Amino acid sequence: MRTAKRWTWATMLLAGACTAHATDFQPEQITVAKLPAANPYRLYVSDVAISHMIDGRMHIVDGETLKFIGMIGTGFTGLSTVSPDRSEIYVATTYLAKLNRGTRTDQIDVYDSQTLTIKAEIEIPPKHAQSLPYKGTIAVTPDGRFIISQNATPASSVAISDRKAEKFVTEVPTPGCWAILPARSANRFTTICGDGTLLTVTLGADGNPTDQQRSEPLFNPDKDPLFTQTVNDGDDYSFLSFHGEIYTANLGGAVAKIGPRWSLLDDADRKENWRPGGYQPFALSKDNAQLYVAMHPNGVEGSHKNPAAEIWSFDLATKKRLERVAGNNAVALEVSRGANPLLFAIDPLTAGIVNYTTTPKLAVGKRVDGFGEAPILIETH
């Protein structure tokens, strides 16, 4: 009996103590951390997550400090871009109902670029190109109204989606042509065709095509093929060839107008077989009128994906090389906007990001490794 009483009193005392502490206890409130305010150096880095491709990611990184600041999921081979006003992120992707099988759903996910919260899901036909996230596989018209995403079945076409109405509009066949290069002065886009021409598609107010016209040949695909990634200043686009030639065209009109061509190489460079390489092999700074190219020596047929031994900078006015610096195995280059641009490079061997100052000279800055598993596409805010 005495033992039972002792346990009864002990239990009562313990219960009282717990009640007192419970009164003081304040449960932690789960919140989502806010991203720092965006600046021109914020990076959006697409990671195809090659060992588990159904679960791709986009890493958001502070390009000045190279600190990781956020992440969104991009599904299976998500193709991503940022809206013209940089307020939204668009990802064309595929989801399977049972993770690796089951009902397939293709859609464009719309994220708020500041909060990284989902804003809309626009279902598109199950034809989204299941490719690496190259630039030019998804684009937006200059008014921000229509999102254009690349399809492959393997037949090539594009899907037009209305961001405002949050619905799919139409599919436009583009047989034998690839990449989406939007005009900046009108709602139209151009694509690169296998016969060396450029096909321009003009869109009406509802997003449906009203006109399609081909240009004169821009390049010879048998002798000097092009990377599908391009750079542009407004409607003036530059194309990079596997052999280091720059081709140009104005894409503002209903028919692309072919411009002048120039070479990155001099005679000494050609003797050493210097060639561009990578997945996003060149970047254009409109603010300091310079072009940056990932280059490797001893180039051969098939070396167009090789990482950079050096990065070369060129003056766009004179078409002359200005500097050459260590390449850090870069396979992707991008440059920030603004008066003091930074150049960014992805090293796939370490999943690293390297930043370079561009003024007063091109020079290696910071480096941080371990951004995901297979980052190959980089875009700035």
Of 209, 1, 34, 10, the closest CA to residue 113 belongs to 34
CA dihedral 95, 100, 104, 107 (to 10 degrees): 10
DSSP secondary structure letter of residue 8: H
Is 80 exceeded by the pLDDT of residue 295? yes
Across residues 288-295, what is the average pLDDT? 97
Is 90 exceeded by the pLDDT of residue 297? yes
For the whole model, what pTM was predicted?
Answer: 0.91
Euclidean distance between CA atoms 15 and 32, whole angstroms: 35
- pLDDT for 10: 53
Contacts of 139 (CB under 8 A, 6+ apart): 81, 147, 148, 180, 181, 182, 189
Q: 42-64, pLDDT tens digit by residue?
A: 999 999 999 999 999 999 999 99
Is 70 exceeded by the pLDDT of residue 15? no
Which of these ranges, 18-22, 164-168, 227-231, 311-315, has the smallest mean pLDDT?
18-22
Model confidence band, residue 22 (pLDDT cutoffs 50, 70, 90): low
User: Exposed, middle or buried, 33 (CB in 10 Å: 0-12/13-18/19+)?
Assistant: exposed
For the chain, the domains span 265-366
Is 50 exceeded by the pLDDT of residue 1? no
Q: Which amino acid is at 338?
A: G
**Percent of the chain residues topping a pLDDT of 70:** 94
Q: 118-164, pLDDT tens digit by residue?
A: 999 999 999 999 999 999 999 999 999 999 999 999 999 999 999 99
CA dihedral 91, 94, 97, 99 (to 10 degrees): -90
Rounded to whole angstroms, what are the CA distances from 288 to 42, 297, 358, 362, 379? 19, 27, 9, 12, 18
Is 70 exceeded by the pLDDT of residue 187? yes
Cβ–Cβ < 8 Å for 257, 250: yes
- pLDDT for 24: 76
More confident residue, 33 or 263: 263
Q: 226-270, pLDDT tens digit by residue?
A: 999 999 999 999 999 999 999 999 999 999 999 999 999 999 999
